[in-house]
Structure 1
Amino acid sequence: MNELLSKFRKCGIALTAVFLLTQMTAAAQGTLLTGKVTDTDGTPVIGAGIISMQKKASGTTSDLDGKFSFKVPAGTESVLFSSVGMKDVVYKIVPGKTENITIVMEWESTQLDQVVVTGYAQTTVKRITGSVAVISSDKFEAKAISSVDALMQGEVAGVAVSATSGQPGTQSRIRIRGANNLSGTSQPLWVVDGVPMQSDSPSLSSEQLATGGFDDIFVNGIGNINPNDIESITILKDAAAAAIYGSRAANGVIVVTTKKGEAGKMRINYNNTFTMSIKPQRTLNLMNSAEKLAWEDELWNEFSADKYEESLTDNTIVYPVVGIVGQIRAGLGDFAKYKGDTAAQDACIASLRENDTNWYNLLFRNAFSQGHHLSLSGGSEKNTYYVALGVNDEDGMLIHNSYRRYNVNSKMTLKPVDWVRIDIGMEAARQESRMPYSSVDPFRYAYFSNPYEKAYNEDGSYAADNTWFTLGYYNGRGVEQVMPKNGFSLLRELDSNYSSTKNTNGTFRAQVDFKIAEPLHFVGLASYSFANNSTDKIVDKDTYTAFRDRLGSDDRSQTNLYGSISQNRTNRNSYVVRGHFAFNKTFLERHTVNILAGAELRGSDANTIFTKRYNYDPKTGTTSL
């Protein structure tokens, strides 16, 4: 009997050891946590972050249905659930309660109560039915950014902001939830302090656009507003925007609210920004002049020299012309004097080795930019004011490229009686841009041009490029181009040709809010806007651009040279008169009735004058042929 009991005890100890070992193995392998994440209304929370509190390197996210499956690493006691705009939830791991759990997350009250300005009225996130995003001033007031559209870059989901040019002052391309059409514009509607921006210009003909004389750098967007004057930016992203603004809002609406004065003593605020942009660098380890010439000479000897000798007696023989060495050895173009003289050819090639031009250093520069903003605000309970002045000075990385902007913004709010509020505002801006012009892309030229090409001759004049336009013709890839006697020099193009654009615009607005009987209000608004845009494109007579832009009768002449001036003048005027009744009432702290009814009258007028004159003299301002 004792022997039998002893066997049972040994068997029990063995089973207990196996059970404990199984539990330890399971714990070491981790626990599978599954379930669903919802908000207080039962709506799935998409993309909620799920991480281990003790092993924060491990985590996952909830899917489109709010569901998740997370293999909890060993040693985890609790799991953190988080999502933007919602309160964090910490779930403690309990054995036996790790499958099909439900995590309920609450919205942050600050997010729900965030003010949304639609242009016609104000509401909060929890009361609006459409898809909106709000960017408040505290997110961008510390950024060194000079344009409004750049403030939104990377800040809002579904809003793509991309630069269209490196030229300072150009407006970015903004797409809200992608492009909505194939042929028309996809730019969103801008609304500033309740006034839609009606900045479309008359379209130009294809002939006018082909001349390159029209620069729309200041036509679209709201580049005239200083970012320091902005209080908030609201982006209306879905079809609900069209219910407010109609077909104009097909591509979304961006509502900009500028700052106002606050009651109290005068506040004086000054801030400035200084930025430095580093010029493009020749990052690849490309050949220098000596290496490039040696390589071209090697290719000539291997692939071209024998065929060249044969071509002297048989003109049907073709041979590749590689770089300037091929032109010198074959005696082509300006090197015809070296034909058959090997010693003179070698001396010419040796002289080229002394040139090692870094075109990046000549065509580009480190760009310095600065911005200054001064504002004064204050007032009393009956009236407040806000006045701001701004100056932005930006240099482009391309030589001779610059941009200037001058802003003035003033607002006044009057409350003569408790049931009346009057808002008066004025904004004005002056923008100036200068851009060097060339038919050859400077960045492409800086990268692909040969280092042995000189920038200047010994007498200080511009040196002609001997390979940029000739190699294609010599190798059978196009017709021969008639070149000016002084040749092509990109430095001459950028120093002599330029496009100058100036824009002056302003907006005047007045708004009256009558409190008829709380919560019924009548709001009336009237605004007038104007913009004058002028562009002058000057092409100097000694440049390659002018040489290629002559009349057809002079197309083959190397002596009859003349420049041109292309001028574009655009004037726009617009007005908006609006009146609406607004009723907003909350019942039982949960139900809200919001009714808005009114009418709007708007109109705009725009005209464009375009001229192009040849044989322009920049000294006298006259033209003649």
Structure 2
Amino acid sequence: MFANKSYLNDTKGVAIEANAMPLRQFMEACTKDQPFGFTIADNTITLTPKAKSKSGDNVVPVKDIVEGKVAGADGQALEGASIRIKGNTNGTYTDKEGKFSIDAYEGDVLIVSFVGFESREYKIGTNHYFNIVLNRTSITAGEVVISTGYQQKKVSEITGALQTIKGDELRKGVSTLNALAMLKGKASGLYIVENGGSVATRGQVVMRGQASMPDQSNTNFGPLLVIDGVISNVPNLQDIVNPNDIESITILKDAASTAIYGSRAAQGVIVVVTRRGANGKMKIGLNTSYGKVKNNRLVNYMNTSQLTSHIHNYMTSLYAASPSLNSIYGSFDNYFNTTRIYTEEDLQQNYDWSNKTFYPDGNQSDINLSMSGGHEKTKVYTALDWARQDGTILGDNLDRKAFRLNLDQRINNKLTLSINTNVLIDKYTASTSETQNYLFLPWVTPYYSNGALADSVPNYIYNSSGKRGTVYYDNPLYSYTYNTAITKRQSYLLTGKLKYDILPWLSIQTTNTFQYINNNLNSYKDPRTYRGRYDGPANNRIAVNGALTVSDDRTNYFLTSNLITASKQFGEHTLTAWQARNTERPVQVPSRYQYIVPYPGERTLGAFQNYGTYINKLFGTIATPYAPAPVEKALSLYLVN
């Protein structure tokens, strides 16, 4: 203990009964009515004089150390709770045991807060040690906070119509890689269309009625997409976010959204918030799923009995209404047996092209590994995902690998940094075989008489003047493993957000986003298949002997958003003003190359890579083939910039 002897001249006698009393509590009792106070630091007690007020009372002119412990209602210590002095920037955080220590004057107000818990205030008096218990916040629907991209608002502060769907609720329904499809049956007022059964179908969503029309420059007339407060330039949810990473989706439905985003929000806004780290120990989650994709077609093709019966009825009506047919054939039986497109032997055959070939069932699987946690200063969420899903179309498959990292860092009491990184790598495989499914007759099977798959199948054509005609089409069951279009899509999104609180009611923020998208298409028709050998209409085929098309499109997108926000509270009223400036710069680098007549199985540039490098093609340099290049196999080469 250190003290100036003169401090003790006016001391009063003290009688205290103390048994296992904490030191600070003991010292407070000893100095309560004395002309001096004390501080404790590094196991040392220092006595300091109290100044005289105008009334002659002793007051404390110096800071003292205030200590305490913060815990939840269950007694669990809260690590990373914020402890600050009201009215200034002095603050600290609790340690692993929930304990804290801070310098403060007597009369200061201590503000204790923790994410997910109610904040509390304590006025510092003679007691300098606090046992603080925080209760969890009870969130009501009116207290949900929506990030509009420029500011955060409570639902009660938004005048327009909106609907919020939590990510957990979203994932309880349809299991798919397309978050838009997951909204079906959950979001009211949305008209969602997905054409066909392909797993890569992006779909179209209309929010303001089906009378909405596209324009020549924008075939997508759906709502504006905002992800984690950043306006996106892509029209489809599937292209910017993995469903497992979604925390919530908020749909701003009416014209009030144009007050925030302008005319591009004329069809509404879909605001996506991804999952983020929270205070607490690091948590690791592993979720796996496997399921079947079922064909749920309500209308199927006719079988042999149904179609032949329909043809018979049609030909009966046609003959009765056609005097010319009566004069040519004399009787309906003669007309029918001569011109019908099936034989008696055909009646014994029946093949289900619909479910066995064109629209088979499929499989889907998903493996998701996530990690989240943090404390008051640093929070992190990261996830790896690998999903595979078949469509209900022959040869249709999507393989997706996804990575996300969301990092929130409080650098100091005024400066915060957020970094969002998202990577989506898709490989979509589709068949380039025959797609005119209605041409395949149920009495025509895809197999030869020896049981082997045929490379082509006949289609019989009605001929009113004689026997049926015959044309051939590619057999999809035989060729779909040869003839495929492989689309590889890579999307990289990086967003950095820096916010500085100039004053408690005034802040500035800069958000910078970079997105890179690469679409690479490799479409191949193998010369070992009927569709690869021939092209053109069925009645006038031309030999092409295979085809390979390779295209590559790249897009760079830059977005810089600078924002200044002022928000003052007057009692129960809040006045908020903000000014934002956005700068967008999309850069597209399209290129396309087409090669006709490749070697069987040659679906890479392979033998054709000697016709110029990527740089030569990109800048229009005329490429000269090397001597050993198979010039005779390359009938044509197209380059379009």
Relative to the length of structure 2, the TM-score reads 0.64
Decide whether the 8 Å contact of 2:171 with 2:182 is kept in 1: no
Query: Is residue 2:154 matched to residue 1:128?
Result: no
Q: Choose which of 534, 541, 565 in structure 2 pairs with 1:582.
A: 565
Indicate how the Cα distance of structure 1 residues 403 and 229 shifts in structure 2: closer, same or farther if over 3 A, else same. Answer: same
| Identical-residue share of aligned pairs (%) | 22
Distance (Å, rounded) in 1 between the aligned partners of 2:498 and 2:156: 27
Structure-2 residue corresponding to 1:196: 231
Q: Choose which of 173, 181, 192 in structure 1 pairs with 2:213.
A: 181
Distance (Å, rounded) in 2 between the aligned partners of 1:290 and 1:114: 57
Distance (Å, rounded) in 2 between the aligned partners of 1:294 and 1:520: 76
Q: Which amino acid aligns with 2:350?
A: D
Q: In the TM superposition, what are the counterparts of 1:442-481 in structure 2 within 5 Å?
A: 442=437, 444-445=438-439, 449-459=440-450, 460-462=452-454, 464-468=456-460, 470-471=461-462, 474-475=463-464
Residue 616 of structure 1, CA deviation: 2.4
Which range is displaced more, 537-546 or 523-532?
537-546
Indicate how the Cα distance of structure 1 residues 389 and 557 shifts in structure 2: closer, same or farther if over 3 A, else same. Answer: closer
Which range is displaced more, 575-584 or 502-511?
575-584
SS of residue matched to 2:239: coil
Q: Which amino acid aligns with 1:264?
A: G
Structure-2 residue corresponding to 1:165: 196
SS of residue matched to 1:467: strand
Q: Choose which of 555, 580, 594 in structure 1 pairs with 2:576.
A: 594
Decide whether the 8 Å contact of 1:130 with 1:236 is kept in 2: yes
More relative contact order, 1 or 2 (CA 8 Å, 6+ apart)? 1
Distance (Å, rounded) in 1 between the aligned partners of 2:470 and 2:634: 24
Structure-2 residue corresponding to 1:511: 497
Query: Is residue 2:366 matched to residue 1:362?
Result: no
SS of residue matched to 1:150: helix
Structure-1 residue corresponding to 2:291: 275
SS of residue matched to 1:126: helix
Distance (Å, rounded) in 2 between the aligned partners of 1:109 and 1:197: 29
Distance (Å, rounded) in 1 between the aligned partners of 2:548 and 2:337: 36
Indicate how the Cα distance of structure 1 residues 378 and 544 shifts in structure 2: closer, same or farther if over 3 A, else same. Answer: same
Decide whether the 8 Å contact of 1:530 with 1:572 is kept in 2: yes
Distance (Å, rounded) in 1 between the aligned partners of 2:195 and 2:300: 25
Structure-1 residue corresponding to 2:282: 266
Residue 245 of structure 1, CA deviation: 2.2
Q: Choose which of 402, 411, 416 in structure 1 pairs with 2:411.
A: 416
Residue 350 of structure 1, CA deviation: 5.3
Residue 177 of structure 1, CA deviation: 1.4
Q: Which amino acid aligns with 1:189?
A: L
SS of residue matched to 1:616: coil
Indicate how the Cα distance of structure 1 residues 426 and 292 shifts in structure 2: closer, same or farther if over 3 A, else same. Answer: same
Q: Which amino acid aligns with 1:181?
A: M
Distance (Å, rounded) in 1 between the aligned partners of 2:414 and 2:390: 50
SS of residue matched to 1:360: helix
| Greater Rg over alpha carbons, structure | 2
Query: Is residue 2:140 matched to residue 1:110?
Result: yes
Distance (Å, rounded) in 1 between the aligned partners of 2:181 and 2:167: 14
Q: In the TM superposition, what are the counterparts of 1:378-389 in structure 2 within 5 Å?
A: 378-389=373-384
Q: Which amino acid aligns with 1:489?
A: N
Structure-2 residue corresponding to 1:97: none
Q: Choose which of 315, 340, 346 in structure 2 pairs with 1:326.
A: 340
* Structure having the larger proportion of residues in helix: 1
Residue 579 of structure 1, CA deviation: 1.4
Distance (Å, rounded) in 1 between the aligned partners of 2:253 and 2:373: 35
Structure 1 stretches of at least 4 aligned residues deviating more than 6 Å after TM superposition? 281-285, 297-300, 306-310, 317-321
Query: Is residue 2:227 matched to residue 1:244?
Result: no
Q: Which amino acid aligns with 1:356?
A: N
Decide whether the 8 Å contact of 2:528 with 2:600 is kept in 1: no
Indicate how the Cα distance of structure 1 residues 321 and 269 shifts in structure 2: closer, same or farther if over 3 A, else same. Answer: farther
Relative to the length of structure 1, the TM-score reads 0.65
Indicate how the Cα distance of structure 1 residues 412 and 406 shifts in structure 2: closer, same or farther if over 3 A, else same. Answer: same
Indicate how the Cα distance of structure 1 residues 154 and 283 shifts in structure 2: closer, same or farther if over 3 A, else same. Answer: closer
Distance (Å, rounded) in 2 between the aligned partners of 1:599 and 1:284: 55
Indicate how the Cα distance of structure 1 residues 121 and 151 shifts in structure 2: closer, same or farther if over 3 A, else same. Answer: farther
Provide structure 1 residue ranges, at least 5 long, that are not aligned to the other structure. 1-107, 201-219, 329-348
Residue 440 of structure 1, CA deviation: 3.4
Distance (Å, rounded) in 1 between the aligned partners of 2:567 and 2:508: 12
Residue 490 of structure 1, CA deviation: 4.1
Residue 290 of structure 1, CA deviation: 11
Query: Is residue 2:402 matched to residue 1:407?
Result: yes
Structure-2 residue corresponding to 1:119: 149
Q: Which amino acid aligns with 2:360?
A: R
Distance (Å, rounded) in 1 between the aligned partners of 2:434 and 2:419: 48
Distance (Å, rounded) in 1 between the aligned partners of 2:561 and 2:373: 29
Residue 573 of structure 1, CA deviation: 0.4
The root-mean-square deviation of aligned C-alpha atoms, in Å, is 3.9
Residue 283 of structure 1, CA deviation: 7.2
